[in-house]
Chain A
Amino acid sequence: MTLSLTYRETWAVIHGMMLGSLFLLAYAGGLAELINLSSVWSTEAGVIKRVRRLKIGTRVMAVVAWLTVITGTYIVYPWYRANPPAGADLTMFPRSLLLSKPETAEWHKFGMEWKEHVAWLAPILATAVAYMVTKYGVRLAKDAQVRRAVIVLFTISFCTAAIAGLFGAFINKAAPIH
């Protein structure tokens, strides 16, 4: 049995299935920690432990978000958007392959166009969240206003990454990177 991936497929996996998925999966844990941070439900020692985990978690998520968009934009995307020479096999040129048929063109015109832009909001917002958690620390447990703002920005960051991830998965199904 041989399990193999091409160089390009390996990068597509690193970008989407490893980095992108890690960010999306980590959101649930981070959200639970933020919601349960309220000092009403936690002891002082519990809050300190939760904030320590949150600081590490949100920093890791911010780094992962940056790595996801950087690998996506500067490594995988150039293969996606490359112009094929005349008479080339379009399966090696995903954007051109999608645009070659009316039934798949919208995957590029709407899906990819949205994904490639909206994805970049995720690391900006995730960095702000990581900074706010790090700077505010245990005060987050007492300050409901700031905690709510962190939760909302964290959720918007997740939603933008989820939109990008969802369209990335569908587009890679319709016109895979080989």
Chain B
Amino acid sequence: MANPQAELNNGPVAAAMLAAGIGCLVLGIITCLAQARKAIGAAINFYYPTGPLGGKTMVAIVAWLVAWAVLSSKWKEASVDFGKMFMVTLILVGLGLLGSFPLFFDLF
């Protein structure tokens, strides 16, 4: 029988939303780091034909999926302040966009 309380929980959707923001942020950070330190760019050059791009995106995807798994398990049956989580997500996505913008990451 379905748990009526569980149906009201917004934790799982907030977890998916916030994890996406974290994934975007990590992509922005790793892009700046790879630009600032050539050694990092070389270290994440997992597949030579794509250069560091493949590694940057792989790191971001792993961070996103790990964050989603952790937050989902934590908020599986919880309700969170959705408005606050949405604002945090927008900030993380915004920072991710900034970090992946060439005029910004070329500063490093």
Which A residues fall within an 8 A CB radius of B? 69, 73-74, 77-78, 81-82, 109-110, 113-114, 116-118, 120-121, 124-125, 127-128, 131-132, 135-136, 139, 145-146, 149, 152-153, 156, 160
Interface of B is mostly: helix
CB–CB A118/B97 < 8 A: yes
Q: Which residues of B contact A152 (CB under 8 A)?
A: 86, 90
Q: How many pairs, one residue from A and one from B, have CB atoms within 8 Å of each other in the complex?
A: 86
Q: Given the known A-B contacts A146-B10, A156-B93, are A135 and B16 also in contact in the complex, defined by CB atoms under 8 Å?
A: yes
Residue B12 interfacial (CB < 8 Å): yes
Q: Verify A109–B102 contact, CB threshold 8 A.
A: yes
Are the CB atoms of B10 and A73 closer together than 8 Å?
A: no
A149-B86 in contact (CB<8A): yes
Which residues of B47-64 have CB atoms within 8 Å of chain A's CB atoms? 47, 49-51, 53-54, 56-57, 60-61, 64
B interface residue numbers (CB < 8 A to A): 7, 10, 12-13, 16-17, 19-20, 23-24, 27, 31, 47, 49-51, 53-54, 56-57, 60-61, 64, 82-83, 86, 89-90, 93, 96-97, 100-103
On whether A120 and B49 interact (CB within 8 A), knowing A128-B20, A149-B82, the answer reads no
A153, B102: Cβ atoms under 8 Å? Answer: no
Bound together, the chains give a CA A130 to CA B64 distance in angstroms of 15
Contact of B13 among A74, A114, A116, A135 (CB under 8 A): A135
Q: Quick one: given A135-B13, A149-B17, are A74 and B54 in contact (CB under 8 Å)? A: yes
**14 more CB-based (< 8 A) A-B contacts, given A73-B53, A136-B13, A139-B7:** A73-B57, A77-B53, A117-B100, A118-B97, A118-B101, A120-B57, A121-B93, A124-B23, A125-B20, A131-B13, A135-B16, A149-B17, A153-B17, A156-B93
A101 to nearest B CB, angstroms?
Answer: 19
Given the known A-B contacts A81-B51, A117-B27, are A132 and B16 also in contact in the complex, defined by CB atoms under 8 Å?
yes
Q: Are A114 and B101 in contact (CB under 8 A)?
A: yes
Contact across chains for B97 and A121 when beta carbons are under 8 A apart: yes
Query: Considering the chains assembled together, what is the distance between the CA atoms of A132 and B13 in angstroms?
Result: 5
The residue on B at minimum CB distance from A157 is B20
Q: What are 7 A-B contacts defined by CB distance under 8 Å?
A: A82-B49, A114-B100, A118-B100, A124-B23, A125-B24, A125-B93, A128-B17
CB–CB B50/A121 < 8 A: no
